[in-house]
Structure 1
């Protein structure tokens, strides 16, 4: 079974929730607030406040409401030294696609680049011209895949199709 679909495995208290909960508890106590005070200020039941302090509660919104209620400085979260890495690494193929997506977004955000529309080949030509990619290391299939993702993100849309080639323009919404 894929780890991302394993609900029971996902819901176990990871270290960061335990750290944040303990930090919120310490801050609450130093500030003189009781569990009841936090409950009154947030509308969150006392038992849930206790579970947050233990790192059991999984709803991040509760932690933010708690933090706002006791004036906990959000930047303090950085001091917990929570590693900023995903639970699951992307494959090399997906990392390469992400890198290519950033490059394509860069030229798409250039006002007027897509203008009346560009084909995948024209997008590749522009990426090569700007020295953002090497032509021999990037296939039209890879660029087409990125463009499909950008369509899903409402960044671009297909204006027309000429001889089986999509003509991409900025999404007009």
Structure 2
């Protein structure tokens, strides 16, 4: 595919004649090649953000502080702090409903990766560690991201999206959150039909 693309572009440059179909095919194959070669860099949020927020550098440039995401959140967990959306998961959790993303007039909430950037941490007051029973956090976790094979609950980081539902479910208040690196997933480009 790479040789064909290079030959195609070389022929275009030499003959300066190209069909409309050939032009689009060449452009799309170049875009697919670029996407496949893209390096996906993990990033860490500075604070908990709505699940589809872009990385911090882009967020600072794209978000204009309009507050539409805060108004749209049915769980009321988004607050505008210093003109940027932050999640507050102390009394409620994020359902990842997508309302904030739909309400955002900019591309600040356009990430394909759904993570708040937070990961649960279990303190020593966890009922399971104290008494040997309790599975409320794991039962309520919509991602099934809490492993109870050991006495201390463990978080499956590749599954956890940091929604905070486990914290809300914990009767002991034994769950807090810490920042965790996020690795965005690259979506494959759709196949370009060739004739």
TM-score range, shorter chain: under 0.3
Higher helix proportion: 1
TM-score (norm 2): 0.23
Task: Give 1 or 2 for the bigger CA radius of gyration.
Answer: 1
TM-score (norm 1): 0.25
